[in-house]
């Protein structure tokens, strides 16, 4: 895609266990105020959370659609039992909205109809991308660990629109075990929803006390916050036209405004990065994967963003 072509700013699904009313009000604010084009809604991490949000889902979707946002229904990243498979089938069979598959079983159910592929499905080569496109995928959010060279190879003749995550704690892994429950000496079946205590995930330190990762129920996230506002121009030159922000408890309206302003050439990346850093609670920022470095490293881009976090800590945060 040539620089200057159409761009799309996407808000990914809330990955954390927020109180249902807070979750609803967050999306209402996004509908009314955020400079995003597409909004993903749905439980991705843990099916046990979904019933709490279900009473508000239709209202949230209607509010977003009425505000002119494209609504995408995101599905679980790990399907582990028949109950979850039944929930997936119900979502797929009873909606006219675009569905985002985050597990290959969802992609199988969506075969033959337009759908999206989320960042939890491993798309590392052209053959995989072509297979998913033949299956019906019209857009694919690439895995967060891809370097610029890999993104360029996939974008060169991509049969579907490609999206890259440019803000938020990076989703690294998902497991059948609930780390949050284990930290509180609870079982997954009796977790008491302790993940709700950590609105942006629970920080994990190494044995030496250094910040390392974050956990969110069954999910492992980066400690550092991805911030690729300084890399947007390079991504566009590679052919990427869709950019994803992952929701956190900071002011996501302000974060979206900063990214939008840079995409529209109305704000310098350095200025935008300062605004973005102000919404991360002073956490380290990272863009290392894109530059072929350790994921938590931050690569200064000439004329681009600068990290305002602790870069020494950030460099050791991810493998």
Tens digits of residue pLDDT in 13-38: 999 999 999 999 999 999 999 999 99
Of the candidates 213, 221, 235, which has an alpha carbon nearest to the alpha carbon of residue 305? 235
Of the candidates 241, 55, 274, 216, which has an alpha carbon nearest to the alpha carbon of residue 164? 241
Of the candidates 96, 103, 56, which has an alpha carbon nearest to the alpha carbon of residue 73? 96
Domain, as residue range, for 186: 8-314
pLDDT score recorded for residue 316: 32
Residue 228 lies in a domain: yes
**Which of the two residues, 146 and 185, has the higher pLDDT score?**
146
pLDDT score recorded for residue 307: 52
pLDDT score recorded for residue 184: 87
Residue 1 lies in a domain: no
Residue 233 lies in a domain: yes
| 3-state percent breakdown (helix, strand, coil) of the chain, nearest 5 | 35, 20, 45
Average pLDDT value for residue range 213-222:
96
Between 20-33 and 252-263, two packed helices, what is the crossing angle to 10 degrees?
Answer: 30
Q: At residue 305, does pLDDT exceed 60?
A: no
Of the candidates 166, 201, 169, 200, which has an alpha carbon nearest to the alpha carbon of residue 273? 166
CB 194 within 8 A of CB 174: no
Residue 319 lies in a domain: no
34: domain CATH number? 3.20.20
pLDDT, tens digit (0-9, with 9 covering 90-100), for 221-277: 999 999 999 999 999 999 999 999 999 999 999 999 999 999 999 999 999 999 999
Whole-number Å distance between alpha carbons of 107 and 135 = 8
Domain count, the chain: 1
pLDDT score recorded for residue 308: 46
Residue 3 lies in a domain: no
Lowest pLDDT segment from 75-79, 141-145, 253-257, 309-313: 309-313
Give residue for tokens 């995550």: 165
Whole-number Å distance between alpha carbons of 84 and 104 = 14
Whole-number Å distance between alpha carbons of 57 and 14 = 13
Residue 73 lies in a domain: yes
pLDDT score recorded for residue 306: 52
Q: At residue 309, does pLDDT exceed 90?
A: no
What burial class does residue 60 get, using C-beta atoms within 10 Å of its C-beta: 0-12 exposed, 13-18 middle, 19+ buried? Answer: buried
Residue 2 lies in a domain: no
pLDDT score recorded for residue 137: 98
Residue 249 lies in a domain: yes
Q: Which two tokens stand for residue 79?
A: 């399907």
Q: Sign of torsion, CA 17 53 78 34?
A: negative
Whole-number Å distance between alpha carbons of 125 and 129 = 6
Average pLDDT value for residue range 81-86:
94
Percentage of the chain exceeding pLDDT 90:
84
Other beta carbons less than 10 A from residue 227's beta carbon: 30
């Amino acid at each position: 895609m040539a620089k200057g072509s159409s761009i799309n700013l996407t808000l990914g699904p809330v990955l954390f266990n927020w109180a249902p009313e807070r979750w609803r009000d967050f999306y209402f604010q996004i509908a009314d105020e955020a400079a995003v084009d597409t909004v993903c809604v749905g439980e991705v991490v843990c099916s046990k959370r979904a019933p709490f949000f279900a009473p508000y889902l239709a209202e949230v979707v209607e509010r977003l659609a009425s505000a002119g946002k494209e609504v995408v229904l995101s599905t679980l990243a790990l399907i582990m039992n028949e109950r979850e498979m039944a929930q997936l089938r119900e979502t797929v069979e009873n909606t006219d909205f675009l569905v985002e598959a985050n597990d290959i079983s969802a992609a199988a159910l969506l075969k033959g109809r337009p759908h999206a592929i989320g960042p939890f499905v491993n798309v590392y080569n052209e053959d995989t991308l072509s297979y998913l496109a033949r299956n019906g995928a019209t857009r694919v959010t690439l895995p967060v660990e891809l370097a610029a060279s890999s993104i360029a190879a996939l974008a060169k003749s991509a049969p579907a629109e490609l999206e890259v995550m440019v803000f938020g704690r990076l989703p690294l892994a998902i497991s059948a075990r609930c780390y949050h429950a284990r930290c509180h000496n609870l079982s997954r079946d009796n977790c008491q929803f302790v993940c709700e205590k950590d609105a942006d995930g629970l920080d994990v330190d190494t044995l030496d006390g250094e910040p390392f990762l974050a956990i969110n129920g069954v999910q492992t996230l980066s400690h550092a916050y991805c911030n690729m506002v300084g890399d947007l121009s390079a991504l566009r030159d590679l052919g990427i036209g869709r950019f994803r922000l992952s929701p956190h408890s900071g002011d996501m309206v302000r974060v979206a405004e900063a990214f939008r302003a840079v995409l529209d050439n109305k704000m310098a990346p350095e200025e935008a990065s300062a605004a973005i850093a102000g919404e991360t609670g002073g956490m380290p920022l990272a863009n290392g994967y894109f530059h072929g470095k350790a994921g938590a490293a931050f690569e200064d881009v000439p004329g681009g963003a600068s990290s305002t976090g602790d870069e020494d800590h950030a460099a050791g945060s991810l493998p």
